[in-house]
Amino acid sequence: MGNQLLEPTELSLRTIESLQLPASPTLPHLISAVERAYGKPLEFDEVADEVLADGVTGRWVDMPARGLIQYRRGHAFWCRHVILHEFGHILLGHKGEPADGLESAGFFSGVGKRRGISWMCRPTAIPLEEAEQAAENLAYALAQRLVTGQDTCVSNAERIFGL
C-alpha cells in the first residue's frame, strides 16, 4: 500500500480556496489569512517537552482577544507542520468544549471551559479522531500549497514555454 498520502478532502480544498492565497504563498501570507478568518491576532510559542502532555505535539489556545499556538520543540520543518495543523482547527471552526460533539476536545475539556478559553491539540497517535483528522488533512493540503505544490503553480508564460 505504501506511504498513504493524505488526499485533500472537499472541505480542505474549499477552506483553502476561501483564504484567497496568492499563487505561491509563504507562511506569513498564510498567517495573515488565518488571522483574517479567525478575527484575532495569533501568537506562537515554542514550548519544552514537559509543557505538553505525552503524545501531544502542539495546541491552540483560543482566548477572547487573541489565539496562542504552542508547539513542541523540534526541527523547524516539523514544527511548521504542527502549526499548520493548529491552523486547521482554527479555519475549520473547531472548539475545545465537549459541547460541540468532537471527542478530541475531551482531553482538555476540564480546562477548556474555564474563562472562555478553549483548547485543541495535535496528538501523534494514528488513527486520528474526527476533528484531528480534518485538521491534519487541512494541514497537509496547506503544506502542499506552501511546500510540495510550488512546482505545480505554473504561470501563463511557463505553460506556453512548456513547463
Partner 1 sequence: MIQAAFWLLTVVFVARLYLVARHNASTAFLGATGVGVVGLFCTGQIVPESTLDALIGGTNWLHLVRNLLVTAAVWLVREGVFSALSTEPETKQRVTRRPLFLAALLLAIVIPFTLQSFVPTTDAFIPETVHQPAVYVYATVYMAVLGGLGLSVLRVSIGPRDSRTVRASATVVGIGMGLMVLGCIDEIIYMSLRFAGFSSSLTDMAYLLFTPFFYSGILLTSLGLGIPPMVRLWRRLALVDRFWILVLHCKFPALKAQGERFAFAVDVLGPRPAERLYTLVIAIGDLRAAGQQAKYSPAAERALVLAQRRLTNTFEPLGLELRKRAEI
Residues that bind partner 1 (CB under 8 A): 1-6, 19-22, 26-29, 31-33, 35-36, 44, 46, 49, 54-55, 57, 72-81, 83, 124-126, 140, 143-144, 147-148, 150-151, 155-163
Q: Least distance in Å: CB of 131 to partner 1?
A: 18
Identify which of residues 46 and 97 has a Cβ nearer to partner 1 in the complex.
Answer: 46
Q: Least distance in Å: CB of 117 to partner 1?
A: 21
Task: Report the b/e string of 43-78 with b at 16+ CB within 10 A.
Answer: eeeeeeeeebeeebbbbbbbeeeebbbbbbeeeeee
User: Which amino acid does the sequence have at 136?
Assistant: E
Q: Least distance in Å: CB of 2 to partner 1?
A: 3
Residue 41 CA, chain-centre distance (Å), reads: 15
Q: How far apart are CA 122 and CA 86, in angstroms?
A: 7
Identify which of residues 11 and 44 has a Cβ nearer to partner 1 in the complex.
Answer: 44
Identify which of residues 76 and 115 has a Cβ nearer to partner 1 in the complex.
Answer: 76
116 backbone φψ class: left, alpha, beta (φ>0; ψ -120 to 50): left
Cis peptide before 127 (omega within 30 of 0): yes
Q: Least distance in Å: CB of 77 to partner 1?
A: 4
Identify which of residues 28 and 116 has a Cβ nearer to partner 1 in the complex.
Answer: 28
